[in-house]
Amino acid sequence: VNGFDLVARCLQAEGVTWMACFPAN
């Protein structure tokens, strides 16, 4: 698990649309 995935999982747990914050992915 890389740092980016960790951030994704963390934000998803908060119910946040993290993809909107990381359009580069």
* DSSP output for the chain: --HHHHHHHHHHHTT--GGGT-TT-
- pLDDT for the residue 6: 79
Predicted confidence (pLDDT) per residue in 1-25, tens digit:
688 887 777 777 666 665 566 655 5
* Predicted TM-score of the model (pTM): 0.35
Question: What does each C-alpha distance from 7 to 24, 25 come to in angstroms?
Answer: 14, 12
